[in-house]
Structure formats: C-alpha cells, structure tokens
Amino acid sequence: MPLTIAHVLFSWVLACVAFPPVASTQLPGGANEYAIAGSVRREDTNEALGDVRMELLTSVGSTAHPSILSARSGEFSFGEFAAGRYEIVAQLDGYLMTRLPVEISRFDQTNLVVRMRKQFTSADPGGDSITAHQLGVPQKARAAFEKGVAKADSHRDSKGAILDFQRAITIYPDYYEAYAEMGTAYVRLKDFSAAEKALRQSIEISAQKYVPPIMLLSMLLNDQNRAAEAEPLARQVIAADANAWRGPYELARAQLALRRLPEAEASAYAARNLKPENPDIYLLLSEIHRHTQNPKALLEDIDTYLKLAPQGPAAPQIRKLREQLLKFMESQSKPPAASGQRQK
C-alpha cells in the first residue's frame, strides 16, 4: 500500500496523542491570551471528580473568572487569559480545599491536574480496600510521594520525581500509586522499558483494582504496536470507569491496528460520545474511515477536527488531506463521458 499523507499523519498523531506535550501552541490570531484548563482528581485513587467548585484568582487574590463546576469526567476550562500568575481554588464537600498556582507566559496550560485529598472522619466506613490502603501509608512515605508528585506535575524534574517515588516505595513497598506515578515519569523521560516495568508492578500490587496504571499501560503498548496486549487492558479501563473516554479510545486504537475495523469504529464513536470536544478522537476516526473507504465520513472527521483545533499541530497536514479528498470526491461525482463524445 503506498504511503499517503494519512499514513504519515496518523503515525505521527499516535506518537503525540497518547502522551501530549506539556504546553500546547499559542492560540490563533496572535492575541497574547492563553488557555487554562485541566482535570480534577482524587489524590489517593486518581478518580475523576465531577461537580467540583472551581474558581480562578489573580496573583493578588481577585477573581479572574467566576466559579464553575468540573464536568463529570473531572475536566474543567476557564477560557483564555493574559500572561501572568493565577491560582485555581477547588472545593468539594468531603474534601480539603485545594489551591494550585498557575503561571502562563508563552503557552497554554491545558493539562493541569488539581489533586484533592479526601477529608476522612471517624464515621467513614472501613470496608473500602483502597481507603484502608491509603490510611496504612506511613507519613514519611506519603511525604516522599507528594514531593514526587509536585515535581512531576511541574513537568520539569521527572528524574527528581522518580527518586522521591523510589524513596516512598522503599518505606512502603505496597505503595502502588508511587509505582504508577513513577511509570508516568519514566514515560516523560522516554524510558519506556522502565515505565512498563513500574506500571506492571503497580497493577500487580493493587490486584488490578487501581485504574490509572492500566490505562497508561494500554496507551504505552499501543504506541509500541503491541495492540494484542493493549486491547484487554483497554477493556479493563472501560469496565472500571464507563465514563472515561480514554478506555474506548485506546480500545479503538488496538482494534484498528488488529484490522477489526467495524469494532474500531464503534469504539471510537463511543469515545467521541464521551468526549465530543476532543480533536484527537476525530483524527482516529479519520484513519478508521480511510481504511473503510468512507469519504463522506472521512470529510466529516476532518472538518470537525479543524473546527476544534484550527491551529492544532496536525492542522496543516489535515488541510492538505482535505484538499486531496475533495478532489477525489469531485472526480467520483462526475458522470462518465458518453462513448460518442470520447471518439470525437
């Protein structure tokens, strides 16, 4: 099969989509405003937290954006703001108030993670195995873990974060969250072998009950063209959290690689229904529809991507692909010339 723009584009997209860059490109139009967005997670389980009251403050404490509520998926977006220092304040009943400093200068901040700590009381039930596990973490191990998370979330000191996670694990060998975060840090360092080892250790120690390392490992295996291994992990993610778009997305990637196209299309549509504003899903759908030779659906995928990410990193290649596709569709719509006309 000849190498097309779609082939080149999609191979590049898969490398970038699974582990997005820390900061995206500047917003279109040349305006010096940048997006502030991210997700809210429970600190101990990494569970997405919806209906969290979010407020954005300026560096002097005044309101930069009125309060909003995080989505069911935990995601939030405040819109676009001038460069400067800000602070996100997150509040939810049963959790400690969380403050996250944000500094924007030249890039969007769209991958922020606000981690909220559960406010345990003596009335809390003791039957939750994850809660019991968290309560059993020694304070020194927790302190090392939190130090590592702070370094990792800054995306500036992954090596230092790994050392902190290793200290936490030395103190508390069953600290599967530390193994998972260490795997993420290794991914950022592009040490994929070490990342896989850490993630598998997290999954094993947690008896496959902790979802984040399962999800990340499915992404990692898909990026390494190990679709047969990635598929069952993606199904585990879906079984654990039916509202997380990443599960069906990674499942669709695996099914596409295995050339199970109808299944891949259904899984990608499931991801789209959960996260219709994510442009990466439409890139995946475009590759599926290219393989199924469905130009109408492919054009819809392309147009939706360009609407959502007109200045996205894949936009130039996507626009070229759109031009080629329109020429092809136009040629297919022209009626064949009559035999008499061809002889003239």
332 confidence band (pLDDT: 50, 70, 90): confident
The model's pLDDT over 231-269, given as tens digits with 9 standing for 90+, comes to 999 999 999 888 888 899 999 999 999 999 999 999 999
Question: How many CA atoms are closer than 13 Å to the CA of 170, on its beta-carbon side?
Answer: 9
- Check pLDDT > 50 for residue 138: yes
The amino acid that residue 318 corresponds to is I
> What is the DSSP code (8-state) at residue 10?
H
Query: What is the gyration radius of the CA atoms in the chain, in angstroms?
Result: 23
- Other CB atoms within 10 Å distance of the CB of residue 226: 15
pLDDT value for 35: 85
pLDDT value for 225: 94
22 confidence band (pLDDT: 50, 70, 90): very low
pLDDT value for 221: 96
Average pLDDT over residues 30-57: 81
Average model confidence (pLDDT) across the chain: 82
pLDDT value for 128: 53
How far apart CA 18 and CA 281 sit, in angstroms, is 11
Q: Identify the CATH homologous superfamily for domain 32-118.
A: Immunoglobulins (2.60.40.10)
Domain ranges across the chain:
32-118
pLDDT value for 34: 83
This prediction's pTM: 0.66
Higher confidence at residue 170 or residue 2? 170
Burial class (CB in 10 A: 0-12, 13-18, 19+), 71: middle
How far apart CA 73 and CA 167 sit, in angstroms, is 32
How far apart CA 173 and CA 176 sit, in angstroms, is 8
Token pair, residue 342, equals 């061809």
CB 275 within 8 A of CB 308: no
Average pLDDT over residues 325-343: 73
How far apart CA 161 and CA 48 sit, in angstroms, is 23
14 confidence band (pLDDT: 50, 70, 90): very low
Average pLDDT over residues 300-323: 89
